[in-house]
Structure 1
Protein backbone atom coordinates (compact mmCIF):
# COMPACT_ATOMS: atom_id res chain seq x y z
CA UNK A 1 0.00 0.00 0.00
CA UNK A 2 1.48 3.33 -1.12
CA UNK A 3 0.01 6.30 0.76
CA UNK A 4 0.72 9.74 -0.69
CA UNK A 5 0.87 12.83 1.54
CA UNK A 6 0.25 16.13 -0.25
CA UNK A 7 0.65 19.48 1.55
CA UNK A 8 -1.78 22.12 0.28
CA UNK A 9 0.57 24.99 -0.46
CA UNK A 10 -0.39 28.48 -1.58
CA UNK A 11 -3.41 29.21 0.61
CA UNK A 12 -3.45 32.88 1.66
CA UNK A 13 -4.26 34.09 5.15
CA UNK A 14 -7.89 33.19 5.76
CA UNK A 15 -10.55 35.73 6.67
CA UNK A 16 -14.19 35.45 7.65
CA UNK A 17 -16.38 34.64 4.67
CA UNK A 18 -13.67 32.94 2.61
CA UNK A 19 -14.88 29.88 0.66
CA UNK A 20 -12.46 27.22 1.87
CA UNK A 21 -13.69 24.50 -0.46
CA UNK A 22 -13.29 26.69 -3.53
CA UNK A 23 -9.85 27.93 -2.44
CA UNK A 24 -8.54 24.43 -1.65
CA UNK A 25 -9.93 22.90 -4.85
CA UNK A 26 -8.02 25.48 -6.89
CA UNK A 27 -4.80 24.05 -5.42
CA UNK A 28 -5.59 20.32 -5.30
CA UNK A 29 -6.90 17.91 -7.94
CA UNK A 30 -8.82 15.61 -5.61
CA UNK A 31 -9.43 11.93 -6.22
CA UNK A 32 -12.20 9.78 -4.78
CA UNK A 33 -11.29 8.54 -1.31
CA UNK A 34 -8.79 11.30 -0.52
CA UNK A 35 -8.66 12.52 3.07
CA UNK A 36 -8.33 16.26 3.64
CA UNK A 37 -7.00 17.32 7.03
CA UNK A 38 -7.71 20.97 7.82
CA UNK A 39 -6.49 22.94 10.83
CA UNK A 40 -9.43 23.95 13.00
CA UNK A 41 -8.06 27.49 13.32
CA UNK A 42 -8.41 28.00 9.58
CA UNK A 43 -11.97 26.70 9.54
CA UNK A 44 -12.85 28.89 12.52
CA UNK A 45 -11.39 32.03 10.96
CA UNK A 46 -13.36 31.45 7.75
CA UNK A 47 -16.59 30.95 9.69
CA UNK A 48 -16.14 33.74 12.21
CA UNK A 49 -15.50 31.63 15.30
CA UNK A 50 -13.20 34.28 16.75
CA UNK A 51 -13.33 36.84 19.56
CA UNK A 52 -11.67 40.18 20.21
CA UNK A 53 -10.05 40.46 23.62
CA UNK A 54 -11.09 44.11 23.91
CA UNK A 55 -14.74 43.04 23.81
CA UNK A 56 -14.43 40.53 26.68
CA UNK A 57 -15.17 41.50 30.28
CA UNK A 58 -13.53 39.05 32.71
CA UNK A 59 -15.56 37.62 35.58
CA UNK A 60 -14.39 37.22 39.16
CA UNK A 61 -13.53 33.56 38.41
CA UNK A 62 -11.51 34.59 35.36
CA UNK A 63 -9.57 37.14 37.40
CA UNK A 64 -8.90 34.55 40.11
CA UNK A 65 -7.70 31.86 37.70
CA UNK A 66 -5.60 34.35 35.72
CA UNK A 67 -3.58 35.08 38.85
CA UNK A 68 -2.67 31.39 38.96
CA UNK A 69 -1.96 30.89 35.25
CA UNK A 70 -0.33 34.31 34.65
CA UNK A 71 -2.56 34.92 31.63
CA UNK A 72 -4.72 37.79 30.45
CA UNK A 73 -8.01 37.59 32.42
CA UNK A 74 -9.91 38.36 29.21
CA UNK A 75 -8.38 35.30 27.55
CA UNK A 76 -9.21 33.20 30.60
CA UNK A 77 -12.82 34.41 30.37
CA UNK A 78 -12.95 33.35 26.71
CA UNK A 79 -11.76 29.90 27.79
CA UNK A 80 -14.41 29.69 30.50
CA UNK A 81 -17.11 30.77 28.05
CA UNK A 82 -16.32 27.75 25.85
CA UNK A 83 -15.97 25.35 28.78
CA UNK A 84 -18.57 22.99 30.22
CA UNK A 85 -16.32 21.53 32.93
CA UNK A 86 -13.03 22.79 34.38
CA UNK A 87 -10.84 19.80 35.24
CA UNK A 88 -7.72 21.74 36.26
CA UNK A 89 -7.30 25.44 37.00
CA UNK A 90 -3.51 25.43 37.31
CA UNK A 91 -0.78 25.43 36.12
CA UNK A 92 -3.04 25.71 33.04
CA UNK A 93 -6.75 25.39 32.45
CA UNK A 94 -7.69 21.86 31.39
CA UNK A 95 -11.33 21.78 30.43
CA UNK A 96 -14.05 20.02 28.52
CA UNK A 97 -15.96 21.70 25.72
CA UNK A 98 -19.59 21.17 24.79
CA UNK A 99 -18.52 18.64 22.14
CA UNK A 100 -16.80 16.40 24.72
CA UNK A 101 -13.28 17.38 23.64
CA UNK A 102 -10.93 17.75 26.60
CA UNK A 103 -7.96 20.04 26.08
CA UNK A 104 -5.82 22.83 27.41
CA UNK A 105 -7.62 26.20 27.48
CA UNK A 106 -10.69 24.68 25.72
CA UNK A 107 -8.69 24.66 22.51
CA UNK A 108 -8.60 28.47 22.22
CA UNK A 109 -5.60 29.85 20.38
CA UNK A 110 -3.97 33.22 19.89
CA UNK A 111 -1.02 32.15 17.72
CA UNK A 112 -0.96 32.69 13.95
CA UNK A 113 -3.74 35.22 14.30
CA UNK A 114 -3.93 39.01 14.41
CA UNK A 115 -3.02 40.70 17.69
CA UNK A 116 -5.93 41.00 20.09
CA UNK A 117 -7.91 38.16 18.49
CA UNK A 118 -8.64 34.70 19.88
CA UNK A 119 -9.60 31.76 17.67
CA UNK A 120 -12.14 29.31 19.08
CA UNK A 121 -12.67 25.70 18.13
CA UNK A 122 -15.62 25.16 15.80
CA UNK A 123 -18.62 24.89 18.14
CA UNK A 124 -19.90 21.83 16.24
CA UNK A 125 -16.83 20.21 14.65
CA UNK A 126 -18.64 17.12 13.36
CA UNK A 127 -21.12 19.23 11.40
CA UNK A 128 -18.23 21.45 10.32
CA UNK A 129 -16.43 18.44 8.82
CA UNK A 130 -19.63 17.19 7.17
CA UNK A 131 -20.36 20.62 5.69
CA UNK A 132 -16.85 21.00 4.34
CA UNK A 133 -17.03 17.51 2.85
CA UNK A 134 -20.27 18.38 1.06
CA UNK A 135 -18.76 21.63 -0.24
CA UNK A 136 -15.61 19.88 -1.49
CA UNK A 137 -17.76 17.32 -3.26
CA UNK A 138 -19.85 20.02 -4.90
CA UNK A 139 -16.77 21.85 -6.20
CA UNK A 140 -14.54 18.90 -7.12
CA UNK A 141 -17.10 16.25 -8.00
CA UNK A 142 -15.10 13.80 -5.88
CA UNK A 143 -15.87 11.90 -2.69
CA UNK A 144 -13.40 13.45 -0.24
CA UNK A 145 -13.20 12.45 3.40
CA UNK A 146 -12.52 15.25 5.89
CA UNK A 147 -10.78 15.55 9.27
CA UNK A 148 -10.68 18.84 11.18
CA UNK A 149 -7.62 18.86 13.42
CA UNK A 150 -6.31 20.56 16.51
CA UNK A 151 -3.12 20.16 18.55
CA UNK A 152 -3.25 18.78 22.04
CA UNK A 153 -0.86 17.85 24.81
CA UNK A 154 -0.67 14.22 25.96
CA UNK A 155 -0.70 12.69 29.40
CA UNK A 156 2.70 11.37 30.50
CA UNK A 157 4.49 12.69 27.39
CA UNK A 158 6.12 15.98 26.51
CA UNK A 159 5.08 17.84 23.36
CA UNK A 160 1.91 18.34 21.38
CA UNK A 161 0.40 16.15 18.70
CA UNK A 162 -2.38 16.59 16.20
CA UNK A 163 -5.79 15.13 17.05
CA UNK A 164 -9.09 14.94 15.22
CA UNK A 165 -11.92 17.04 16.64
CA UNK A 166 -14.33 16.51 13.73
CA UNK A 167 -14.48 14.03 10.87
CA UNK A 168 -16.78 12.97 8.04
CA UNK A 169 -16.73 10.11 5.54
CA UNK A 170 -15.08 7.62 7.91
CA UNK A 171 -15.34 6.28 11.43
CA UNK A 172 -13.01 7.59 14.12
CA UNK A 173 -12.07 4.13 15.39
CA UNK A 174 -10.92 1.08 13.46
CA UNK A 175 -12.31 -1.78 15.52
CA UNK A 176 -10.23 -4.95 15.56
CA UNK A 177 -12.24 -6.70 18.27
CA UNK A 178 -13.20 -10.17 17.08
CA UNK A 179 -10.34 -10.33 14.55
CA UNK A 180 -7.41 -12.68 15.02
CA UNK A 181 -3.70 -12.01 15.35
CA UNK A 182 -0.87 -13.83 13.54
CA UNK A 183 -1.14 -16.70 16.00
CA UNK A 184 -4.89 -17.09 15.77
CA UNK A 185 -5.67 -15.41 19.08
CA UNK A 186 -8.93 -13.47 19.17
CA UNK A 187 -8.44 -9.74 19.70
CA UNK A 188 -10.63 -8.53 22.54
CA UNK A 189 -9.72 -4.88 23.24
CA UNK A 190 -7.84 -3.50 20.22
CA UNK A 191 -9.39 -0.30 18.88
CA UNK A 192 -7.25 2.00 16.71
CA UNK A 193 -7.95 5.74 16.70
CA UNK A 194 -7.22 6.16 12.99
CA UNK A 195 -8.51 9.72 12.70
CA UNK A 196 -6.05 10.81 15.40
CA UNK A 197 -3.18 8.98 13.68
CA UNK A 198 -3.89 10.72 10.38
CA UNK A 199 -4.38 14.06 12.15
CA UNK A 200 -1.07 13.59 13.95
CA UNK A 201 0.89 13.11 10.76
CA UNK A 202 -0.90 16.02 9.11
CA UNK A 203 0.23 18.23 11.98
CA UNK A 204 3.83 17.15 11.35
CA UNK A 205 3.44 18.38 7.76
CA UNK A 206 1.61 21.57 8.73
CA UNK A 207 4.13 22.59 11.35
CA UNK A 208 3.50 24.72 14.42
CA UNK A 209 5.04 28.08 13.56
CA UNK A 210 5.17 29.87 10.21
CA UNK A 211 5.04 27.05 7.67
CA UNK A 212 1.82 28.37 6.19
CA UNK A 213 0.42 24.90 5.39
CA UNK A 214 -2.98 24.57 7.12
CA UNK A 215 -4.25 21.67 5.00
CA UNK A 216 -2.86 18.27 4.01
CA UNK A 217 -4.26 15.61 1.67
CA UNK A 218 -3.74 11.88 2.21
CA UNK A 219 -4.20 9.70 -0.87
CA UNK A 220 -4.65 5.91 -1.10
CA UNK A 221 -5.61 5.46 2.55
CA UNK A 222 -7.72 2.29 2.77
CA UNK A 223 -11.25 2.22 4.10
CA UNK A 224 -11.84 0.74 7.55
CA UNK A 225 -14.76 -0.36 9.71
CA UNK A 226 -15.42 0.71 13.26
CA UNK A 227 -17.30 3.32 15.25
CA UNK A 228 -17.24 6.97 16.34
CA UNK A 229 -17.15 6.52 20.12
CA UNK A 230 -13.80 8.31 20.40
CA UNK A 231 -14.20 10.06 23.75
CA UNK A 232 -14.27 8.15 27.03
CA UNK A 233 -17.42 8.50 29.08
CA UNK A 234 -16.81 10.00 32.50
CA UNK A 235 -17.27 6.63 34.21
CA UNK A 236 -14.59 5.14 31.93
CA UNK A 237 -11.96 7.88 32.15
CA UNK A 238 -9.55 6.82 34.90
CA UNK A 239 -7.22 9.82 34.41
CA UNK A 240 -10.07 12.28 34.84
CA UNK A 241 -11.27 10.40 37.91
CA UNK A 242 -7.80 10.56 39.45
CA UNK A 243 -7.52 14.29 38.76
CA UNK A 244 -10.90 14.94 40.33
CA UNK A 245 -9.77 13.25 43.54
CA UNK A 246 -6.86 15.65 43.81
Structure 2
Protein backbone atom coordinates (compact mmCIF):
# COMPACT_ATOMS: atom_id res chain seq x y z
CA UNK A 1 0.00 0.00 0.00
CA UNK A 2 1.24 3.49 -0.86
CA UNK A 3 0.24 6.52 1.14
CA UNK A 4 0.65 10.29 0.90
CA UNK A 5 -0.46 12.43 3.84
CA UNK A 6 -1.66 16.03 3.94
CA UNK A 7 -0.98 17.92 7.17
CA UNK A 8 -2.51 21.36 7.60
CA UNK A 9 -0.40 23.92 9.45
CA UNK A 10 -2.11 26.83 11.17
CA UNK A 11 -0.07 30.01 11.49
CA UNK A 12 -0.64 33.20 13.46
CA UNK A 13 -1.51 36.28 11.42
CA UNK A 14 1.51 36.95 9.21
CA UNK A 15 2.74 40.53 9.03
CA UNK A 16 5.41 42.34 7.09
CA UNK A 17 8.89 41.42 8.31
CA UNK A 18 7.88 38.11 9.88
CA UNK A 19 10.29 35.21 9.48
CA UNK A 20 8.00 32.81 7.65
CA UNK A 21 10.43 29.89 7.93
CA UNK A 22 10.60 30.28 11.72
CA UNK A 23 6.82 30.45 11.95
CA UNK A 24 6.51 27.23 9.96
CA UNK A 25 9.21 25.46 11.96
CA UNK A 26 7.61 26.42 15.28
CA UNK A 27 4.13 25.38 14.09
CA UNK A 28 4.90 22.01 12.50
CA UNK A 29 7.17 19.02 12.88
CA UNK A 30 8.82 18.94 9.51
CA UNK A 31 10.49 15.82 8.20
CA UNK A 32 13.20 15.35 5.59
CA UNK A 33 11.78 15.34 2.04
CA UNK A 34 8.41 16.83 3.01
CA UNK A 35 6.90 19.05 0.36
CA UNK A 36 5.75 22.33 1.90
CA UNK A 37 2.84 23.87 -0.01
CA UNK A 38 2.54 27.54 0.91
CA UNK A 39 -0.19 30.01 0.01
CA UNK A 40 1.57 32.75 -1.92
CA UNK A 41 -0.42 35.36 0.00
CA UNK A 42 1.44 34.71 3.27
CA UNK A 43 4.69 35.23 1.38
CA UNK A 44 3.28 38.52 0.07
CA UNK A 45 2.30 39.53 3.61
CA UNK A 46 5.70 38.67 5.07
CA UNK A 47 7.58 40.42 2.26
CA UNK A 48 5.27 43.45 2.15
CA UNK A 49 3.87 42.86 -1.33
CA UNK A 50 0.72 44.77 -0.37
CA UNK A 51 -0.74 47.84 -2.03
CA UNK A 52 -3.02 50.44 -0.44
CA UNK A 53 -5.70 51.07 -3.06
CA UNK A 54 -6.07 54.67 -1.91
CA UNK A 55 -2.49 55.37 -3.02
CA UNK A 56 -3.07 54.20 -6.60
CA UNK A 57 -3.25 56.95 -9.22
CA UNK A 58 -5.05 55.84 -12.40
CA UNK A 59 -3.51 56.60 -15.78
CA UNK A 60 -5.52 57.82 -18.74
CA UNK A 61 -5.65 54.28 -20.08
CA UNK A 62 -7.03 52.92 -16.79
CA UNK A 63 -9.63 55.67 -16.64
CA UNK A 64 -10.77 54.79 -20.14
CA UNK A 65 -10.98 51.06 -19.44
CA UNK A 66 -12.70 51.59 -16.08
CA UNK A 67 -15.29 53.85 -17.68
CA UNK A 68 -16.07 51.26 -20.36
CA UNK A 69 -16.50 48.49 -17.78
CA UNK A 70 -18.04 50.46 -14.91
CA UNK A 71 -15.24 49.62 -12.48
CA UNK A 72 -13.07 51.46 -9.96
CA UNK A 73 -10.24 53.02 -12.02
CA UNK A 74 -7.82 52.52 -9.13
CA UNK A 75 -8.43 48.78 -9.25
CA UNK A 76 -8.05 48.73 -13.02
CA UNK A 77 -4.77 50.63 -12.73
CA UNK A 78 -3.49 48.21 -10.09
CA UNK A 79 -4.23 45.20 -12.29
CA UNK A 80 -2.82 46.74 -15.46
CA UNK A 81 0.33 47.94 -13.70
CA UNK A 82 1.00 44.39 -12.45
CA UNK A 83 0.42 42.81 -15.87
CA UNK A 84 2.82 42.32 -18.75
CA UNK A 85 -0.03 42.03 -21.24
CA UNK A 86 -3.84 41.95 -21.19
CA UNK A 87 -5.13 38.99 -23.19
CA UNK A 88 -8.86 39.37 -22.64
CA UNK A 89 -11.71 40.30 -20.30
CA UNK A 90 -14.03 37.76 -18.68
CA UNK A 91 -17.59 39.14 -18.11
CA UNK A 92 -18.29 37.24 -14.89
CA UNK A 93 -21.36 39.21 -13.80
CA UNK A 94 -22.90 38.88 -17.25
CA UNK A 95 -22.38 35.12 -17.18
CA UNK A 96 -24.28 34.90 -13.89
CA UNK A 97 -26.96 37.44 -14.88
CA UNK A 98 -27.77 35.53 -18.06
CA UNK A 99 -27.86 32.16 -16.33
CA UNK A 100 -24.82 30.87 -18.20
CA UNK A 101 -23.45 30.24 -14.72
CA UNK A 102 -25.79 29.61 -11.77
CA UNK A 103 -24.97 31.70 -8.72
CA UNK A 104 -27.16 29.46 -6.57
CA UNK A 105 -24.79 26.58 -7.24
CA UNK A 106 -21.75 28.33 -5.79
CA UNK A 107 -22.89 31.14 -3.46
CA UNK A 108 -22.66 30.80 0.33
CA UNK A 109 -24.76 33.97 0.54
CA UNK A 110 -26.38 34.95 -2.77
CA UNK A 111 -26.92 38.59 -1.77
CA UNK A 112 -23.31 39.01 -0.64
CA UNK A 113 -22.13 37.30 -3.81
CA UNK A 114 -24.12 39.70 -5.98
CA UNK A 115 -22.64 42.66 -4.12
CA UNK A 116 -19.18 41.29 -4.92
CA UNK A 117 -20.16 40.93 -8.58
CA UNK A 118 -21.26 44.57 -8.64
CA UNK A 119 -17.80 45.61 -7.45
CA UNK A 120 -15.93 43.27 -9.79
CA UNK A 121 -18.16 42.50 -12.79
CA UNK A 122 -15.19 41.63 -14.98
CA UNK A 123 -11.95 39.70 -14.61
CA UNK A 124 -8.89 40.65 -16.64
CA UNK A 125 -7.07 37.73 -18.25
CA UNK A 126 -3.43 38.74 -18.32
CA UNK A 127 0.07 37.47 -18.78
CA UNK A 128 2.34 38.09 -15.80
CA UNK A 129 5.79 36.66 -15.16
CA UNK A 130 5.38 34.08 -17.90
CA UNK A 131 2.03 32.78 -16.63
CA UNK A 132 -1.65 33.41 -17.39
CA UNK A 133 -3.61 34.98 -14.51
CA UNK A 134 -6.97 36.54 -13.83
CA UNK A 135 -6.61 40.03 -12.37
CA UNK A 136 -2.83 39.45 -12.20
CA UNK A 137 -3.40 37.30 -9.11
CA UNK A 138 -4.30 40.34 -6.98
CA UNK A 139 -7.01 40.14 -4.33
CA UNK A 140 -8.06 41.55 -0.96
CA UNK A 141 -9.25 38.46 0.89
CA UNK A 142 -7.66 37.86 4.30
CA UNK A 143 -5.72 41.14 4.24
CA UNK A 144 -6.51 44.35 6.16
CA UNK A 145 -9.14 46.66 4.67
CA UNK A 146 -8.03 48.84 1.78
CA UNK A 147 -4.99 46.67 1.06
CA UNK A 148 -4.52 44.30 -1.85
CA UNK A 149 -2.05 41.41 -1.91
CA UNK A 150 0.14 41.20 -5.01
CA UNK A 151 1.82 37.87 -5.90
CA UNK A 152 5.59 37.77 -5.38
CA UNK A 153 7.42 39.07 -8.45
CA UNK A 154 9.71 35.99 -8.53
CA UNK A 155 7.88 33.03 -6.96
CA UNK A 156 10.68 30.56 -7.74
CA UNK A 157 13.18 32.72 -5.86
CA UNK A 158 10.79 32.97 -2.89
CA UNK A 159 10.37 29.18 -2.84
CA UNK A 160 14.14 28.67 -2.98
CA UNK A 161 14.73 31.18 -0.16
CA UNK A 162 12.03 29.64 2.03
CA UNK A 163 13.43 26.13 1.52
CA UNK A 164 16.92 27.36 2.43
CA UNK A 165 15.65 29.19 5.53
CA UNK A 166 13.68 26.14 6.69
CA UNK A 167 16.83 24.04 6.31
CA UNK A 168 18.78 26.45 8.51
CA UNK A 169 15.98 26.87 11.10
CA UNK A 170 14.70 23.27 11.28
CA UNK A 171 17.66 21.25 10.05
CA UNK A 172 15.65 19.41 7.38
CA UNK A 173 15.69 19.66 3.61
CA UNK A 174 12.22 20.18 2.15
CA UNK A 175 10.84 21.15 -1.21
CA UNK A 176 8.63 24.24 -1.36
CA UNK A 177 5.77 24.95 -3.73
CA UNK A 178 4.04 28.35 -3.76
CA UNK A 179 0.32 28.06 -4.49
CA UNK A 180 -2.27 30.53 -5.70
CA UNK A 181 -5.96 30.23 -6.54
CA UNK A 182 -7.00 30.72 -10.15
CA UNK A 183 -10.51 31.15 -11.53
CA UNK A 184 -11.73 29.22 -14.57
CA UNK A 185 -14.26 30.35 -17.15
CA UNK A 186 -16.74 27.97 -15.49
CA UNK A 187 -16.70 30.18 -12.39
CA UNK A 188 -15.01 27.65 -10.12
CA UNK A 189 -11.42 27.89 -9.01
CA UNK A 190 -8.48 25.61 -8.34
CA UNK A 191 -5.16 26.10 -6.63
CA UNK A 192 -2.13 25.90 -8.89
CA UNK A 193 1.60 26.30 -8.47
CA UNK A 194 3.17 29.66 -9.26
CA UNK A 195 6.66 28.86 -8.03
CA UNK A 196 8.70 25.96 -6.72
CA UNK A 197 12.07 24.77 -5.53
CA UNK A 198 13.41 21.35 -4.59
CA UNK A 199 10.86 19.32 -6.53
CA UNK A 200 10.87 18.70 -10.25
CA UNK A 201 7.54 20.38 -11.05
CA UNK A 202 6.85 18.37 -14.21
CA UNK A 203 7.66 14.66 -14.33
CA UNK A 204 9.28 12.63 -17.11
CA UNK A 205 6.40 10.30 -17.97
CA UNK A 206 6.30 10.84 -21.72
CA UNK A 207 7.35 7.59 -23.42
CA UNK A 208 7.51 5.60 -20.18
CA UNK A 209 6.30 2.02 -20.73
CA UNK A 210 2.78 1.30 -19.47
CA UNK A 211 1.71 -2.01 -17.89
CA UNK A 212 1.73 -3.61 -21.32
CA UNK A 213 5.18 -2.26 -22.18
CA UNK A 214 3.80 0.27 -24.64
CA UNK A 215 5.48 3.70 -24.52
CA UNK A 216 3.01 6.17 -23.04
CA UNK A 217 1.85 9.04 -25.23
CA UNK A 218 1.65 12.04 -22.91
CA UNK A 219 1.47 10.99 -19.27
CA UNK A 220 3.38 14.07 -18.14
CA UNK A 221 2.00 15.00 -14.72
CA UNK A 222 2.34 18.56 -13.47
CA UNK A 223 3.43 17.52 -9.99
CA UNK A 224 3.61 21.05 -8.59
CA UNK A 225 0.03 21.81 -9.64
CA UNK A 226 -1.13 18.50 -8.18
CA UNK A 227 0.56 19.37 -4.89
CA UNK A 228 -1.29 22.69 -4.72
CA UNK A 229 -4.63 21.21 -5.74
CA UNK A 230 -4.28 18.54 -3.05
CA UNK A 231 -3.21 21.05 -0.40
CA UNK A 232 -6.26 23.18 -1.18
CA UNK A 233 -8.49 20.43 0.25
CA UNK A 234 -7.24 21.58 3.67
CA UNK A 235 -6.19 25.19 3.06
CA UNK A 236 -9.39 26.34 1.32
CA UNK A 237 -9.88 30.10 0.77
CA UNK A 238 -11.79 31.84 3.56
CA UNK A 239 -11.36 31.62 7.33
CA UNK A 240 -9.62 28.25 7.70
CA UNK A 241 -6.27 29.86 8.68
CA UNK A 242 -4.26 27.01 7.13
CA UNK A 243 -1.86 28.74 4.72
CA UNK A 244 0.69 25.91 4.82
CA UNK A 245 0.14 22.22 4.07
CA UNK A 246 2.77 19.52 4.42
CA UNK A 247 2.65 16.83 1.76
CA UNK A 248 4.33 13.82 3.34
CA UNK A 249 5.28 10.55 1.71
CA UNK A 250 5.37 11.84 -1.86
CA UNK A 251 8.11 10.28 -3.95
CA UNK A 252 9.68 13.00 -6.08
CA UNK A 253 12.83 13.95 -7.91
CA UNK A 254 14.85 16.65 -6.18
CA UNK A 255 15.34 19.58 -8.51
CA UNK A 256 17.44 22.69 -8.02
CA UNK A 257 15.51 24.78 -10.54
CA UNK A 258 12.02 26.21 -10.46
CA UNK A 259 8.65 26.21 -12.11
CA UNK A 260 9.58 28.84 -14.68
CA UNK A 261 12.03 26.40 -16.25
CA UNK A 262 8.99 24.50 -17.56
CA UNK A 263 6.86 27.39 -18.78
CA UNK A 264 5.94 27.56 -22.46
CA UNK A 265 8.72 29.54 -24.07
CA UNK A 266 6.83 30.82 -27.14
CA UNK A 267 3.05 30.79 -26.48
CA UNK A 268 2.19 32.96 -29.48
CA UNK A 269 3.99 30.58 -31.83
CA UNK A 270 2.16 27.67 -30.17
CA UNK A 271 -1.21 29.34 -30.81
CA UNK A 272 -0.27 29.94 -34.43
CA UNK A 273 0.65 26.27 -34.77
CA UNK A 274 -2.78 25.29 -33.41
CA UNK A 275 -4.50 27.59 -35.91
CA UNK A 276 -2.43 26.23 -38.81
CA UNK A 277 -3.20 22.62 -37.84
CA UNK A 278 -6.92 23.40 -37.45
CA UNK A 279 -7.06 25.02 -40.87
CA UNK A 280 -5.19 22.13 -42.44
CA UNK A 281 -7.42 19.48 -40.84
CA UNK A 282 -10.84 21.13 -40.66
CA UNK A 283 -10.68 23.93 -43.21
CA UNK A 284 -11.41 27.65 -42.81
CA UNK A 285 -15.04 26.97 -41.86
CA UNK A 286 -13.86 25.70 -38.46
CA UNK A 287 -12.49 29.13 -37.57
CA UNK A 288 -15.42 30.87 -39.22
CA UNK A 289 -17.83 28.97 -36.96
CA UNK A 290 -15.87 29.98 -33.90
CA UNK A 291 -15.75 33.65 -34.85
CA UNK A 292 -19.37 33.59 -36.05
CA UNK A 293 -20.53 32.40 -32.65
CA UNK A 294 -19.20 35.53 -30.98
CA UNK A 295 -21.47 38.57 -30.46
Q: Give the structure-2-normalised TM-score.
A: 0.76
Larger helix fraction of residues: 2
Q: 1:195 to 1:123 in 2, by over 3 A?
A: same
In the TM superposition, what is the alpha-carbon distance from 1:183 to its structure 2 partner?
A: 1.8
Q: Which residue of 2 is the match for residue 118 of structure 1?
A: 148
The answer to whether the 8 Å contact 1:42/1:214 transfers is yes
- How many equivalent residue pairs? 241
Q: Which residue of 1 is the match for residue 67 of structure 2?
A: 67
Q: Structure 1: how far apart are the matches of 2:188 and 2:5?
A: 26
Q: Equivalent of 2:163, from 133, 137, 145?
A: 133
Contiguous gaps of at least 5 residues in structure 1: none
Q: Which residue of 1 is the match for residue 49 of structure 2?
A: 49
Q: Structure 1: how far apart are the matches of 2:206 and 2:136?
A: 32
In the TM superposition, what is the alpha-carbon distance from 1:236 to its structure 2 partner?
A: 2.1
Q: Structure 2: how far apart are the matches of 1:82 and 1:240?
A: 29
Q: Which residue of 1 is the match for residue 26 of structure 2?
A: 26
Q: Give the structure-1-normalised TM-score.
A: 0.91
Could you say what secondary structure the match of 1:93 adopts? strand
Structure with greater Cα Rg: 2
In the TM superposition, what is the alpha-carbon distance from 1:42 to its structure 2 partner?
A: 0.6
Q: Equivalent of 1:211, from 222, 240, 261?
A: 240
Q: Which residue of 2 is the match for residue 78 of structure 1?
A: 78
Moved over 6 A (4+): 238-242
Point out the more displaced range, 175-184 or 23-32: 175-184
Contiguous gaps of at least 5 residues in structure 2: 92-122, 276-286
Q: Which residue of 2 is the match for residue 184 of structure 1?
A: 213
The answer to whether the 8 Å contact 1:65/1:89 transfers is no
In the TM superposition, what is the alpha-carbon distance from 1:23 to its structure 2 partner?
A: 0.8
Q: Which residue of 2 is the match for residue 7 of structure 1?
A: 8
The answer to whether the 8 Å contact 2:44/2:150 transfers is yes
Q: Which residue of 2 is the match for residue 94 of structure 1?
A: 125
Q: Structure 1: how far apart are the matches of 2:59 and 2:131?
A: 24
Q: Which residue of 2 is the match for residue 195 of structure 1?
A: 224
